[in-house]
Amino acid sequence: MLRVLQKSVGLIFAIASCALPQTRYTGKTQWLDNAKAVVTHTIDDTTKFVPASVDAMDRHGIKATIYVNTASKTMDELWPRLRKAVADGHEIGSHSRTHPCKWPDTEEFCGGAYTDAEIAGSRDDILKNTPQPHVWSWCYPCGNCARYPFIQKRIAAAGYIVARNYQDEARNGHLIPNLNTFAANAFDAAYTQVVQKKGGIAPTGNDDLPKLNAKFDEVYSAGAIYNFMSHPQWLDYGPDAFYEAHLRHIGERGGVWYVPLGPLYAYRELRESAQINSKGKRFEVSTPLDRKIYNGSVTFEFRSKQNPVFNGTPVAERKPGALQQWTGAFYRREGERLWVTIPPTGTLEFR
């Protein structure tokens, strides 16, 4: 009897191993393309210094959200440069039309200042003047009003999915909030640190290069989100000045995903929503989210010796190095570990 049982167990194992699929799905990665860490940058205000800041980022592969005041006269000079920035993988975010700002930021002030023209009007200005499909990011002028739920609701109602704050500038609260992950409330979102000289009503700046770089190193080692902000008018320019020297330290690293803030927050929701179901040898991937807003890709990990084919087209292998996009289809392999990055809408096969 025992021998019969052993035989049947053996037979079951034999059948099971024959039936083992050649490709096995093991899960979604935390960051796109199984990156080790994320770098995101934001810059504030419409000034003539914006192009110099974006030029410096482009020399080091940093991707940023560029927050502008769309009713400023200086915008006439900036729009052409911003259109190029969108093509280069940056994001244009709204910093309102006219930068309303007042201390203390009472409920009464915020209720009056946060008009439809400031919130939805600035969004429409960006959509009209750039090829960006959506305006994901808002930034509170002077950090005012970020804490009020009724204001956050107005921002969300205009289609923004993240709103960056600037906390307690008068007491240097804005310098190193040290948030190295997603904000619990995306409409009152902090960041890792400021990278700029003294400006505004702040007692000091945060421009000591060794300290700036050490903070990045700490966040990078933790595999987290290094999220830094600057005002281009409070920077020094030139390859050896603190801003570009910091960009050089953090830029062009293999295993780092460089992405603007809005697409990063969109990625969080897209990744969570993405479904993958195996149907025989195929995998169907889908998301219920609006692809105009959630237009990025998600990375699915497999064990396979075969290569991926997505919606009938072989997926290209990505060369190692910094990842500077949030869309597209590509794969990367280490032995049998395979990371397939695709828009979550279609059919994935392995051949």
* Distance between CA atoms of residues 143 and 119, nearest Å: 15
> Residue 44 or residue 125: which is nearer to Zn ion going by CB?
44
Question: Least CB distance from residue 146 to Zn ion, whole Å?
Answer: 12
| 105 near Zn ion, judged by CB under 5 A | no
Nearest alpha carbon to residue 196 among 166, 221, 224, 222: 166
Between 141 and 205, name the residue whose CB sits nearer to Zn ion.
141
Is 44 a residue that touches Zn ion (CB under 5 A)?
yes
Nearer to Zn ion, 23 or 46 (CB): 46
Residue whose entry in the numeric block shows the structure tokens 């390859």: 239
Nearest distance from C-beta of residue 143 to Zn ion, angstroms: 8
Work out how close the CB of 139 gets to Zn ion at its nearest, in angstroms, rounded to a whole number: 7
Segment interacting with Zn ion (CB under 5 A) among 37-45, 102-110, 281-289, 330-338: 37-45
Q: In which region does residue 223 sit, left (phi positive, over 0), alpha (psi from -120 to 50) or beta (all else)? A: left
Residue 186, Cβ density class (10 Å: 0-12 exposed, 13-18 middle, ≥19 buried): buried
What's the closest the beta carbon of residue 90 comes to Zn ion, in angstroms?
Answer: 18
Selected range binding Zn ion among 136-144, 196-204, 295-303, 330-338, rule: CB under 5 A? 136-144
- SS3 of 271, please? helix
Give the residue with the Cβ less far from Zn ion, 66 or 219. Answer: 66
Q: Which residue's CB is nearer to Zn ion, number 90 or number 95?
A: 95
**For residues 137-166, which are near Zn ion according to CB under 5 A?**
141
Binding to Zn ion by residue 91, rule CB under 5 A?
A: no
CB 45 within 8 A of CB 75: no
Q: Give residue for tokens 């409409």.
A: 187
Residue 118 contacts Zn ion per CB under 5 A: no
Task: Tell me the site size for Zn ion, rule CB under 5 A.
Answer: 3
**Residue in 25, 43, 45, 78 binding Zn ion, rule: CB under 5 A:** 45
Between 44 and 118, CB nearer to Zn ion: 44
State in angstroms the smallest separation of the CB of 114 from Zn ion: 15
Q: How far apart are CA 174 and CA 162, in angstroms?
A: 18
Which part of the chain contacts Zn ion (CB under 5 A), choosing from 58-66, 118-126, 133-141, 257-265?
Answer: 133-141
CB of 235 to Zn ion, least distance (A): 14
- 45 or 125: whose CB is closer to Zn ion? 45
Q: How far is the CB of 44 from Zn ion (least distance, A)?
A: 4
Sign of the C-alpha dihedral, residues 276, 292, 159, 137?
Answer: positive
Measured between alpha carbons, how far is residue 85 from residues 53, 131, 151, 227, 251 in Å? 11, 10, 29, 19, 17
The DSSP line for 69-130 is -TTSTTHHHHHHHHHHHHHTT-EEEE--SS----SS--HHHHHHHS-HIIIIIHHHHHHHHS
> Interacting stretch for Zn ion, rule CB under 5 A, among 134-142, 146-154, 201-209, 286-294?
134-142
3-state secondary structure of 188: helix
Q: How many angstroms separate the first and last alpha carbons of the chain?
A: 44
CB of 329 to Zn ion, least distance (A): 37
Interface ranges with Zn ion (CB under 5 A): 44-45, 141
